[in-house]
Structure 1
Amino acid sequence: MAKQFQKIEPHLHRFIAAQRMFFTASAAETGRVNVSPRGTDMFRVIDDTHVLYLDRTGSSNETAAHLMADGRLTIMFCAVDGPPLILRLYGRGRVLHRNSAAYAERLATLFDNKAPLGARQMVELDIDLVQSSCGYGVPLFTYEGERPQMNAWATAKGEDGIDAYWREKNQRSMDGLPTGLFDEA
């Protein structure tokens, strides 16, 4: 049932565009494996072998720490409505820091130079394998809408409050690995 591809084929581009959520999975050589759900509003397909998402503030910054330590990243989409399908994008990821030229270029070209309050970095994936599988075991769900809490939280914190939060909660992973959040470009 599983099929492997060297790039995102056109029918898989269409599948990605129809999704509302994806998951990232990362790990360092030791410590915990991290899996995080994310909304696709901040996800972009750059080309057939590169994708990127604008990463908003979270309670930790595990993916960034794991990418600094190891680099492996998997992004998974699964259909929760319509025809069943699971799609995994495997490869090497890297963080684009807010103060870097690469971040500014990607923000301009992929996000119309607009980042939501609380955008802390971007994560880019260089894909080395694309795999689809049946998705028959994924339950059906109905999309109701986006949650308003992320924007409300960021607005209540303000830029200074978000910066303080990053300094307190997002500079080290739960296993003590550095995230590089305040590293220079």
Structure 2
Amino acid sequence: MAKQFSNVDDRLRDFIARQHIFFTASATSESRVNVSPRETLCLRIISANTAIYLDRTGSGNETSAHMKADGRLTIMFCAVEGPPMILRLYGRGRIIHRSTQEYRELLNDYYAGEEPLGARQIVRLDFDLVQTSCGFGVPLFSYEGERPSLDQWAKAKGPDGIEEYRREKNSFSMDGLPTGMFDG
């Protein structure tokens, strides 16, 4: 039932645009596998083989540590409404830090220059394999909306509190790998 493609075509791009959630999976050969849910409002497919997402401050920064150490990244979408399908993007990822010109350019080009409070970095995935599968086992859910919790948390922390939190919680992975967030 699985089908493989070398890139995202218009049909697959349309499927991605209809989803409300995606998951990232990353690991190194010696670390735990990390799987994280993300809202698709932060995701952009910027070419047939490249996706980016604006990553916001969270309780850990495993993806960043894994990208620094290994680079393997998978993004998965699964339809929880409408026709069933699972779509995965397999490739190599890298972190684009807030302090860089590349970050500012991507923010301007793909996010209208708007950076939500708590934005931490942009994750870029250059993928060489796209795979779809049936999704028959994915249950149906109804989308109710985005949670306001992350915005409320960031607002309560403020810029200085977020910076302090990142230094405490986002400098190293749970396995002790450096995230590179404060390099240079």
Give the shorter-chain TM-score range: over 0.9
Partner of 2:43 in structure 1? 43
Residue 3 of structure 2 corresponds to 3
What are the within-5 Å matches in structure 2 for residues 114-125 of structure 1?
A: 114-125=114-125
Percent pairwise identity: 64
Give the TM-score normalised by structure 1: 0.99
Distance 1:10 1:109 in 2: 21
Other-structure match for 1:145: 145
Give, in whole Å, the separation in 2 of the partners of 1:135 and 1:9.
Answer: 19
Q: Where does residue 80 of structure 1 map in the other structure?
A: 80
TM-score for the superposition, normalised by structure 2: 0.99
Distance 1:114 1:183 in 2: 24
CA-CA distance at 1:183 after TM superposition:
2.1
Q: How many angstroms apart in 2 are the aligned matches of 1:53 and 1:171?
A: 20
Say whether the 8 Å CA contact 1:97–1:183 is kept in structure 2: no
Match of 1:106 in 2: 106
Tell me, which stretches of 5 or more residues in structure 1 are unaligned?
none
Q: Which residue of 1 aligns with 2:20?
A: 20
Cα distance in structure 2, aligned partners of 1:183 and 1:54 = 20
Structure 2 counterpart SS, 1:154: helix
- Cα RMSD after superposing both structures: 0.5
Task: Output the amino acid matched with 2:24.
Answer: T
Helix, strand or coil at the partner of 2:84: coil
SS in 2 for 1:130: strand
Q: Is structure 2 residue 94 aligned with structure 1 residue 94?
A: yes
Per the TM alignment, residue 77 of structure 1 is displaced from its structure 2 partner at its CA by 0.1
Question: What is the aligned residue count?
Answer: 184
What is the CA–CA distance in structure 2 between the aligned matches of 1:117 and 1:167, rounded to whole Å? 16
Q: CA deviation at 1:182?
A: 1.5
Give the counterpart letter for 1:152 in structure 2: Q
User: 1:67 Cα shift?
Assistant: 0.5
Q: Deviations over 1:112-137 (max 9, x none)?
A: 11010000000000011000000000
Q: Is the 8 A contact 1:67 1:93 kept in 2?
A: yes
Ranges of 4+ aligned residues in structure 1 off by more than 4 Å = none
